[in-house]
Amino acid sequence: MDQSSKPIGVFDSGYGGLTILSSLRTKLPAYDFLYLGDNARAPYGPRSFDVVFEFTLQAVEYLFAQGCELVILACNTASAKALRTIQQQVLPQKYPGKRVLGVIRPTSEIIGNFSESKHIGVIATEGTIKSESYCIEIGKFFPEVSVNQYACPIWVPLIENALHETDGGKWFIRRDLDLLLEQDPEIDTILLGCTHYPLVSELISEHVPSHIRVISQGDIIANSLEDYLSRHPEIETNCSKQGRTEFLTTENADDFNRKASQFFKGSVESRHIRLV
């Protein structure tokens, strides 16, 4: 991308945000996107609030320096632990014209509409679950909905190592789903509150009772971004539109390109960068 480009930044701890990026590109093909995966320091799920905040801010500032005026935190853990502080403390002081958006609020705004029983199950990383962000945010938009959550810390390493299709991998995934549903048998909607989980959504649907809907975030985030851009012309007009996507990773670029194909339709040619 040339120096005058102003792509929309898409940040994730690693590969998972590519599932969100796929939906963004489908919905908004005219825009330029710059994806950054902090693979060298992933997973973020088990990390503390302070560390996730520090790492996420470094990534956001890097994307700003590349010309991004708008950055999407396409990572639930980063959205849960870093977004609010960045929006409320960092942007007004250091980057008043720039914007950072997350994935938890747009998902929470709509997820209640999928449920008839008004019982929703949320599965996510340990960090997202402990933050209680989904319970708090869904409660604001759908106070009548009961939210039960369950942390699945083993799913990200299983998926990243392509072990989710093995008997052992399936055993862990089914066990965690059973434990979620035991908490609340009235759950009729399961939200995949982690960017990696769309890769196992079929496996989930096969295992849970057939009336349960399994909801991935990609399309929700893409619709929400389209709406945001239409309501914020001062941001939208600054975004460059040549339909290009570039990929950055803090780990080895060849490894990233190879593994990325699990998460992203289309070929990936990434570039290695250092955040520190």
Question: Is residue 213 within a helix (H) or strand (E), and if so which, with residue range?
Answer: strand 213-215
| Min CB(128)–ligand DGL separation in Å | 5
Would you count residue 215 as binding ligand DGL (CB under 6 A)? no
What are the backbone dihedrals phi and psi of residue 25, each rounded to the nearest 5 degrees, phi first? -70, -35
Binding test (CB under 6 A) with ligand DGL, winner from 23, 39, 77, 240: 77
Would you count residue 83 as binding ligand DGL (CB under 6 A)? no
Residue 167 neighbours by CB under 8 Å, 6+ apart = none
Instruction: Give the interface segment with ligand DGL, choosing from 73-81, 167-175, 234-242, 252-260 (CB under 6 A).
Output: 73-81
Q: What is the 3-state secondary structure (H, E, C) of 46-63?
A: CCCHHHHHHHHHHHHHHH
Catalytic status, residue 135: no
Measured N-to-C along each axis, helices 218-231 and 17-27 cross at an angle, to the nearest 10 degrees, of: 50
Q: CB–CB of 147/183 below 8 Å?
A: no
Dist CA 34 CA 46 (whole Å): 26
Catalytic status, residue 68: no
Looking at 68, 152, 194, 239, which residue is catalytic?
Answer: 194
Would you count residue 42 as binding ligand DGL (CB under 6 A)? yes
Binding test (CB under 6 A) with ligand DGL, winner from 195, 216, 245, 270: 195
In the complex with ligand DGL, which residue's Cβ is closer, 20 or 208?
Answer: 20
Exposure string of 248-266, with b = 16+ CB inside 10 Å and e = fewer, is bbbbebeebeebbeebbee
Binding test (CB under 6 A) with ligand DGL, winner from 7, 9, 11, 12: 12
Would you count residue 44 as binding ligand DGL (CB under 6 A)? yes
Helix (H, G, I), strand (E, B) or coil at 179: helix
Binding test (CB under 6 A) with ligand DGL, winner from 56, 125, 148, 249: 125
Would you count residue 9 as binding ligand DGL (CB under 6 A)? no
Active-site amino acid positions: 75, 194
Would you tell me which residues interact with ligand DGL (CB under 6 A)? 12-14, 16, 42-45, 75-77, 125, 128, 156, 194-196
